[in-house]
Amino acid sequence: MVIGGGVIGCSIAREVTRYTPDVVILEKEADVADGTSKANNAEVHSGIGEKHGTLKQKLNVRGNRMYEEFVKGLGVDFKRQGLLIVITPRSLPDRVTGRLPALRRQLLKELVPRLILLSGKRKGIPGQRIVGREEIFRMEPNVTREAIVGVHDPTYGLVSPYKLTIALAEHAIINGAKVFLDTEVTGVNVEGGRVKGVVTDRGEISAPIVVNAAGVFADDVADMAGAGGFKIHPRKGATLIFDKETTTEYVRGSVAEAKLFVKKKSKGGGGMPTIEGNLQLGPTAIEVDDKNDTSISAGEIEEIFERFHYLLPDFPRRSVIAAFSGVRAPTTDEDFIIGPSDTAHGFVNVAGMQSPGLASAPAVAQMVLEILQDLGVPSEPRPGFDPVRPTPALFADQDRKGRERLIKEDRRHGHVICRCEQVTEADVVNAIHGIVPATNMDAVKRRTRAGMGRCHGGFCGNRVAAIIARELWMPVTAVTKDGGGSRLFAGETKHFLEEIG
């Protein structure tokens, strides 16, 4: 049993189905990928930003290497677009040779890039190289003219974190796993020092092995089993999203500014494209009290512009189409906590999965599988494991011929619902009736991109709601934005008019 349908829980569940179909994922929300796994920067980091020797650094480097193999058969795109680390006069704090400008410039030009290369080599990151000023501007014409030198890291990759998570859950399901949505674990049954199962808001479920992959709530779930002893302090990160033209015109790949010898709460962020081609700017790092705090204020938006204005001046502000925030799950030690409990046999914590959790997911799943096999999960691969997850083709991904073929196969592909992202009625219907069904607006958006374009659902929102209502035989007023109580409609206008006479 896996508690939590994020990228970590779904990666573990899919890995286990290679050996046994007896797996269940419990997720408290109405969809998988509805926690931090839907609200991050989608980068498969190389591990260069992590402290040498930590568990997250090792699993990041290993996970990055595994990505091509990891996504094979899932029908999910993965691209190594690389990262350009730009060294500027700000890359060393003032206290380092602040009064000796000539020496300082020399250090920035010669020493800093070498230190970055050395650090990459120690961590096992292949292919990093120093790039001169001219090459920097050839690669990224819009970065600050104060750039001194750069380091290119070719291993950095991009993946859609929510599409990946949904695909992993679906791949697990076609190989025998079950996913229970809207099912919150409220207690863990432990008898005689052994885990027996869990209590949920829909009843009790027994299981001899329970994996805690509950993201920011992993400390609470661990406490339910008496297997805690660590605390997660939620840290919010806000990001701006720009429309696709801005990405291609303004920033071509991922760009970050090097900052050495400063204490940071995150890797520092920068400008990075998504796999679908939108540019992102961010994220911030703000300690919050509430694990559900995914708010974003005007002040935070301004802070992002201020923070990255130096690295990427003249940023086209008017091209922002959305802002979002996600909550990281750091522990006091700022490292991943992965291991079986000493006090509740069969209970395994996979906690503290802050960034680079997405990049590390393949290696985390492999590490957890080994732990589970020690606890009794079979170690012989199953002959019946299906390596390919069936995926409906999206209209927008096809060339002209492919689109014509899709329309011939299903006339509803001839009806465009979301103009910005070219999403058709058939795409929406396929999402609603998918292996993990999309039952609300955001779930449809994550699978099809309806509402992710420049108008952000202004045109297609009501159409998607009507299709959900039609396909799921429910009144349109019951359609939600994101499950639970996130109702879109207060009621029918005529009823309100009747009420007030």
Ligand X SMILES: Cc1cc2nc3c(=O)[nH]c(=O)nc-3n(C[C@H](O)[C@H](O)[C@H](O)COP(=O)(O)OP(=O)(O)OC[C@H]3O[C@@H](n4cnc5c(N)ncnc54)[C@H](O)[C@@H]3O)c2cc1C
Residues contributing to the site for ligand X (CB under 6 A)? 3-9, 26-29, 34-37, 39-43, 45, 184-185, 213-215, 217, 221, 237, 239, 283, 326-328, 353-359
Q: In this structure, which amino acid lies at residue 14?
A: R
Write b or e for each residue in 46-70: b if 16 or more Cβ atoms lie within 10 A of its Cβ, otherwise e. bbbbbeeeebbbbbbbbbbbbbeeb
Which three-class secondary structure state does DSSP give residue 473? coil
**Least CB distance to ligand X at residue 193 (A):** 22
> Minimum distance from CB of 452 to ligand X (Å)?
17
Beta-bridge partner residues of 158: 43, 79
- CB nearer ligand X, residue 4 or residue 457: 4
Q: Return d(Cα 82, Cα 173) in angstroms, integer.
A: 33
Least distance from ligand X to the Cβ atom of residue 25, Å? 9
The answer for residues whose C-beta is within 8 angstroms of residue 408's C-beta and 6 or more apart is none
Residue 190 · residue 226 · CB < 8 Å:
yes
Dist. CA 22–CA 205, nearest whole Å? 13
Nearer to ligand X (CB atom), residue 83 or residue 423: 83
User: For strand 210-212 and strand 2-3, is the pairing parallel, antiparallel, or unpaired?
Assistant: parallel
* Nearest to ligand X of 156, 395 (CB atom): 156
Query: Looking up tokens 């677009």, which residue turns up?
Result: 81
| Closer Cβ to ligand X, 28 or 412, answer by number | 28
DSSP string, 30-90: SSSS-SGGGSS--EE--STTSPTT-HHHHHHHHHHHHHHHHHTTTT--EE---EEEEE-GG
Q: How far is the CB of 255 from ligand X (least distance, A)?
A: 14
Q: Is the peptide bond before 383 cis (omega within 30 degrees of 0)?
A: no
Least Å distance, CB 238 to ligand X, is: 7
- Active-site position among 45, 152, 171, 413: 45
What's the burial of 499, exposed, middle or buried (CB within 10 Å: 0-12/13-18/19+)?
exposed
Q: How far is CA 113 from the centre of its chain?
A: 29
Q: Which is nearer to ligand X, 304 or 460 (CB)?
A: 304
Q: Specify whether 45 is catalytic.
A: yes
How many angstroms separate the CA atoms of 107 and 91, rounded? 10
CB-based contact 60:74 (threshold 8 Å) = no
Q: How far is the CB of 280 from ligand X (least distance, A)?
A: 9
CA distance 7 to 357: 8
Question: Around Cβ 453, how many Cβ atoms within 10 Å?
Answer: 22
| CB nearer to ligand X: pick between 211 and 423 | 211
Q: Looking at the DSSP assignment, which residues form a beta bridge with residue 423?
A: 418
CB of 19 to ligand X, least distance (A): 21
Backbone angles phi, psi at 261, to 5 degrees: 55, 30
Q: C-alpha dihedral over 17, 19, 22, 25, to 10 degrees?
A: -30
Residue 256 Cβ vs ligand X, minimum distance, rounded to whole Å: 11
Closest approach of Cβ 113 to ligand X, in Å?
23
Q: Of 224 and 406, which CB lies nearer to ligand X in the complex structure?
A: 224
Closest CA to 364 of 57, 71, 125: 57
Q: Which is nearer to ligand X, 338 or 394 (CB)?
A: 338
Residues annotated catalytic, as ranges: 45
